[in-house]
Amino acid sequence: MEVKVGDLVERKSYKRDLLFRVTELKEDNGVKIAVLFGEEFRLVADAPIDDLVKVNQREYSERATQEKDKLEKTYRLFQQDYHLIKQRNEYYSTGGYTNEVSYFQMPGRVLHLDGDSLYLRKCLDLYEKIGVPVQGIHCKETEMHERIGELLDQFRPDILVITGHDAYTKAKGKAADLRAYRNSRYFVQAVREARKKYPSLDHLVIFAGACQSHFEAIIRAGANFASSPSRINIHALDPVYVVAKISFTSFMERVNVWDVVRNTITGERGLGGIETKGILRTGLPFQHYQE
């Protein structure tokens, strides 16, 4: 079987559990190896060519339909949550006179750094669908800590997302050892650099991490939310649902961690964090200027 860069594949040794795309081909001691990026989950892996099964168009279409149904369910849950938040904000901001007072809202602005350009595009589409103001930057995980300072100065966000690909390899060390992770140390470095500019957890809310990332190290570095407490894979769109909840919660309220992660695709085994203040501010009156 010929495998090329760009092919969609699954791993036989993992019972074809996840869909990957081939991003690189190399040799290791005479064995042909493929570097794989998760198509739906933020996981990067290496696998021998002989362990791969190419996914045909029919199989891909079936998986795409299942994925779409799962995403739609999560989006509906988020919409229900958002409408409740919006109604509560409207009531308190207008003193209960929501039908008589015209108002406007300023949700939290997001700067999203992503190590995968395709995932970034998917996330930006969802941000737009939800209504979160966002600036997306494609940046290699290894370079994020070097660029984070200038990007924060340029965009001055309320919420920072630092994500991409990651993986924990048991053969490289224990779960507590950062050296056993592909990119966790770079996420940690990027969070530390961001906290040099914004030390307060309330002045800049940070989500960082990807599949199987070192959750505890990222939180200790200064992130409000991170992955992955149980070292499981997280979905490509999970960061969007986390920060959207914070973006649309009033700055007068605190966001409970369970309220943030319960409607994500992965849930609390893949995502966690600390109690955090909301960002949204409501103002009034709102009226269009007329000559």
47 & 104 share domain: no
- The secondary structure element, H or E, covering residue 48 is strand 44-48
In a domain, 201, yes or no: yes
Domain that residue 187 falls in: 97-283
209 & 131 share domain: yes
Looking up residue 168, the CATH number of its domain turns out to be 3.40.50.2300
Pair 25, 34: CB distance under 8 Å = yes
Count the domains in the chain.
2
Query: pLDDT by residue (tens digit) across 138-178?
Result: 999 999 999 999 999 999 999 999 999 999 999 999 999 99
Query: pLDDT by residue (tens digit) across 120-140?
Result: 998 999 899 888 999 999 999
Higher pLDDT, 50 or 69: 50
Q: How many residues does the chain have?
A: 291
Question: How many Å is the Cα radius of gyration of the chain?
Answer: 21
209 & 122 share domain: yes
CA nearest to 134, candidates 114, 115, 149, 148: 114
In a domain, 74, yes or no: no
Q: pLDDT above 70 covers what percent of the chain?
A: 87
In a domain, 62, yes or no: no
Alpha-carbon distance 4 to 34, whole Å? 9
In a domain, 122, yes or no: yes
Mean pLDDT of the chain: 87
Q: How far is CA 123 from CA 127, 151, 180, in A?
A: 6, 19, 28
Q: What are phi and psi of 181, to 5 degrees?
A: -115, 145
Q: β-pairing, 31-38 with 52-54?
A: unpaired
Q: What is the mean pLDDT of residues 260-280?
A: 89
49 & 148 share domain: no
48 & 101 share domain: no
In a domain, 154, yes or no: yes
Alpha-carbon distance 82 to 240, whole Å? 14
- Tell me whether residue 147 is exposed, middle or buried, using C-beta atoms within 10 angstroms of its C-beta: 0 to 12, 13 to 18, 19 or more: middle
Query: pLDDT by residue (tens digit) across 241-253?
Result: 899 999 999 898 8
User: Is the predicted pLDDT of residue 43 greater than 90, yes or no?
Assistant: no
108 & 50 share domain: no
Least confident segment among 161-175, 181-195, 207-221, 255-269: 255-269
In a domain, 168, yes or no: yes
Out of 76-80, 222-226, 283-287, the most confident range is 222-226
Pair 106, 283: CB distance under 8 Å = yes
Higher pLDDT, 97 or 2: 2
In a domain, 216, yes or no: yes
User: Is the predicted pLDDT of residue 39 greater than 60, yes or no?
Assistant: yes
What pLDDT score was predicted for residue 11? 93
In a domain, 157, yes or no: yes
User: Is the predicted pLDDT of residue 199 greater than 60, yes or no?
Assistant: yes
49 & 129 share domain: no
What pLDDT score was predicted for residue 237? 87
48 & 117 share domain: no
35 & 122 share domain: no
Banded model confidence at residue 85, pLDDT cuts 50, 70, 90: low
192 & 117 share domain: yes
105 & 18 share domain: no
Query: pLDDT by residue (tens digit) across 46-66?
Result: 899 999 998 888 877 777 777
46 & 102 share domain: no
Buried b (16+ CB within 10 A) or exposed e, 59-69: eeeebeeeeee
What pLDDT score was predicted for residue 287? 63
